[in-house]
Amino acid sequence: MSDELAGAAELIHGAGALLVCAGAGMGVDSGLPDFRGSEGFWRAYPPYAGLGLRFEEVADPRHFAEDPELAWGFYGHRLALYRATVPHRGFGLLLEWGRAKPGGVRVFTSNVDGQFQVAGFGEVAEAHGSIHHLQCLAGCTREIWPADDVVVDLDETTMRARPPLPACPRCGGLARPNILMFGDGDWVPDRSQAQLDELTAWRRAHRDLVVVELGAGQAVPTVRRYAELASAANGALIRINPREPHVRHGRGISIPAGALETLTKLA
């Protein structure tokens, strides 16, 4: 990978601004599961293997209405896990490089874990929302509020939450995470859209940006597509992915390795 690493280092060194695009693989080196395939999901959450439930089935918004203890068992566990997780050193390296650029650094991510904010990034566009924010399940309001005070009491043998469950401060009904789930027609995108609008304006003002994409797979290609779009004008894309590093039409640099390993070598 020496040629690819040298090319990537040269791109980052000469960048006027840095755009970090990250998928679930970015958090693996921090100890977070990436839910890759049913087996990977079941290794992270054995109780769901016994129920035969895949990630896509558990992460379905209908459970909040039909079986809220099951729904909040899963999301309550993830909320506690993300709060306890320390971002790996690669986050700090990206922040250091980005802050040294005239145009600064921005983040586009499909992750809902809030790890970039914990690592010190100020402007993060969370395309699929954030587990650290809530919305009303019944839709009594489009308000989105922080989940800072939410603690879910969980039976870890069954992965079911014990009442009381998070509630809407306006109507008292059940609250749900402000996350875009599978087949989700009720997600309130306002907070994420405001972040995306800010990112779009920033991108238009910095044509000399370099895109560093990390841990973004093709199963849900939101991040890969955005990284390709953002780098379309100059081809300044660095794709870091141990399993799916291919770049289309040679428009970028492909590095088939993990995030922390690669960022450390670049440093």
Buried b (16+ CB within 10 A) or exposed e, 245-256: bebeeeebbbbe
Q: What is the pLDDT of residue 180?
A: 98
Instruction: Read off the pLDDT of residues 171-185 as tens digits, 9 standing for 90 and up.
Output: 999 999 999 999 999
Q: What is the pLDDT of residue 254?
A: 98
CA angle 238, 5, 213 (to 5 degrees): 20
CB 226 within 8 A of CB 36: no
Asked whether the predicted pLDDT for residue 201 surpasses 80, the reply is yes
Instruction: Read off the pLDDT of residues 141-172 as tens digits, 9 standing for 90 and up.
Output: 999 999 999 999 999 888 999 999 999 999 99
Task: Determine phi and psi for 203, rounding to 5 degrees.
Answer: -60, -40
- Tokens representing 129 are 């929302």
CB-based contacts of 173: which residues, under 8 Å, 6+ apart? 136, 137, 138, 140, 167
What whole-number distance in Å separates Cα of residue 237 and Cα of residue 228? 7
Instruction: Read off the pLDDT of residues 207-246 as tens digits, 9 standing for 90 and up.
Output: 999 999 999 999 889 999 999 999 999 999 999 999 999 9
Q: What is the pLDDT of residue 52?
A: 86
Would you tell me how many other CB atoms lie within 10 Å of the CB of residue 26? 33
Q: Residue 34: name the closest of 257, 177, 220 by CA.
A: 220
Instruction: Read off the pLDDT of residues 27-79 as tens digits, 9 standing for 90 and up.
Output: 999 999 877 667 778 888 888 888 888 988 999 999 999 999 999 999 999 99
Question: Whole-angstrom distance between the N-terminal and C-terminal Cα of the chain?
Answer: 15
Assess if CATH 1.10.10.10 describes domain 1-266.
no
